[in-house]
Amino acid sequence: MRFFTLFIVFLFVSCSKDEMKIGDTANIDCTDTISFQNEIYPLIQNSCFSCHEDGSIAPKISDYGNISSNASTILSSFSGEGIQKMPPPPNEAVNDSLIKKFSCWIEQGKLNN
């Protein structure tokens, strides 16, 4: 009986799924400084401006101040952990490498560089 119990425990432990959670940058290489002007702003322009640039759909995210103050919400939306995954279909989702860059930018203090 003891062997059976250990076997069941082993199955549950070995089948657990390892997922990256929001804010978990342990698995992300953030050694390179992320540039707001060259990497973050173009990402927001391409993925968000069609709806959020003029503020007709909240939040308005057209400049550094608005993007920086809404960074956690943006990251959650990109990752699908927010109220709704953004950008919404049929728009193309933000790929994982860009989400990681955005996460690194937050981790690095949301530099305005």
Tens digit of each residue's pLDDT (9 = 90 or more) over 52-101 = 887 778 888 989 999 999 999 999 999 888 777 888 888 889 999 999 99
Residue 25 placed within a domain:
no
Structure tokens at 48: 């968000």
Query: Residue 104 belongs to what H/E stretch?
Result: helix 96-107
Is 74 domain-assigned? Answer: yes
How far, in Å, are 36, 46, 78 from residue 58 at the CA level? 21, 17, 15
The pLDDT score that the predictor gives to residue 1 is: 54
Domain of 55, in residue numbers = 31-113
The answer to whether residue 13 is domain-embedded is no
Alpha-carbon distance 42 to 29, whole Å? 21
Global pTM reads 0.70
Residue 44 pLDDT more than 50?
yes
Residue 108: inside a domain: yes
Give residue 4's pLDDT. Answer: 39
Closest by CA to 43, choosing from 84, 86, 82, 80, is 86
Examine residue 7 and state whether it is found in any structural domain, yes or no. no
Question: How many angstroms from the chain centroid is the CA of residue 87?
Answer: 12
Who's near 33: CB < 8 A, 6+ residues apart? 108, 111, 113
Overall domain count for the chain:
1
Per-residue confidence (pLDDT) for residue 51, from 0 to 100: 86
Q: What pLDDT shows up at residue 8?
A: 38
% of the chain beyond a pLDDT of 90: 46
E-strand stretches of the chain: none
* Mean pLDDT in residue range 3-18: 36
